């Protein structure tokens, strides 16, 4: 648990902010609630194609199947101000990671951006990218399960880092 009253702020980022990062946001929030962690969690997309929209119906459906409600979320585009607002920025794939880092030259900002599956040491097992299921209906369950594992490991790692 954080030792002070300042929340730790985490942003999950994918391309459209309708498929992967809304699931990551929901799972990170649930993980924080289960573990009593003082976190603020949000998500965004590097692209603005779906701004204002609900999460993709397939992401909402798989979340609901596992008892997770993400219907409060609306897609938004990543903004440079997010570099200051958040402590940790989790990129779902290598393209998201490169796009985010290209938006800033400040080392302080760049250090906040991590490739999720690398950050949680799942990369060797799963490959570096959270698969983009937008064009593949069958991909959503695997993405959900992977993000569930990753969220738990994010909690382990953040707790370890913030307790130092």
User: Which parts of 4-33 interact with ligand 4NP (CB under 6 A)?
Assistant: 14-20
User: Among residues 26 and 45, whose Cβ is nearest to ligand 4NP?
Assistant: 45
Our answer to whether residue 99 is catalytic in this structure is: no
Q: Exactly one of 82, 93, 129, 132 is catalytic; which is it? A: 132
28-67 binders of ligand 4NP (CB under 6 A): 45, 49
Q: The tokens 């200051």 sit on which residue?
A: 84
Q: Mark whether 132 is an active-site residue.
A: yes
CB 13 within 8 Å of CB 46: yes
Q: How many residues bind ligand 4NP (CB under 6 A)?
A: 11
Catalytic residue among 5, 9, 14, 99: 14
CB closer to ligand 4NP out of 15 and 70: 15
Query: Angle of helix 57-65 relative to helix 140-162, nearest 10 degrees?
Result: 70
CB 45 within 8 A of CB 78: yes
Active site residue 14: yes
Helix, strand, or coil (residue 144): helix
Q: Is 53 helix (H, G, I), strand (E, B) or coil?
A: coil
CB of 79 to ligand 4NP, least distance (A): 17
Residues 6+ apart with CB under 8 A from 99: 46
Residues 116-135 that bind ligand 4NP (CB under 6 A): 132, 134
Active site residues: 14, 20, 132
Residues that bind ligand 4NP (CB under 6 A): 14-20, 45, 49, 132, 134
């Amino acid at each position: 648990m954080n030792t002070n009253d300042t929340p730790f702020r985490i942003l999950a980022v994918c391309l459209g902010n309708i498929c992967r990062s809304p699931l990551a946001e929901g799972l990170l929030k649930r993980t924080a609630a289960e573990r009593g962690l003082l976190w603020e969690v949000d998500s965004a997309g590097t692209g603005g194609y779906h701004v204002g929209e609900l999460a993709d119906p397939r992401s909402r459906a798989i979340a609901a199947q596992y008892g997770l409600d993400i219907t409060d979320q609306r897609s938004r585009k990543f903004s440079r101000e997010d570099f200051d607002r958040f402590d940790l920025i989790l990129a779902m794939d290598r393209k998201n990671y490169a796009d985010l880092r290209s938006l800033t030259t400040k080392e302080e900002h760049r250090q906040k951006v991590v490739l999720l599956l690398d950050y949680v040491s799942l990369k060797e097992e799963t490959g570096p990218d959270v698969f983009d299921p937008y064009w593949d209906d069958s991909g959503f369950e695997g993405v959900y399960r992977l993000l569930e594992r990753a969220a738990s490991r994010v909690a382990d790692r953040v707790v370890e880092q913030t307790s130092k």
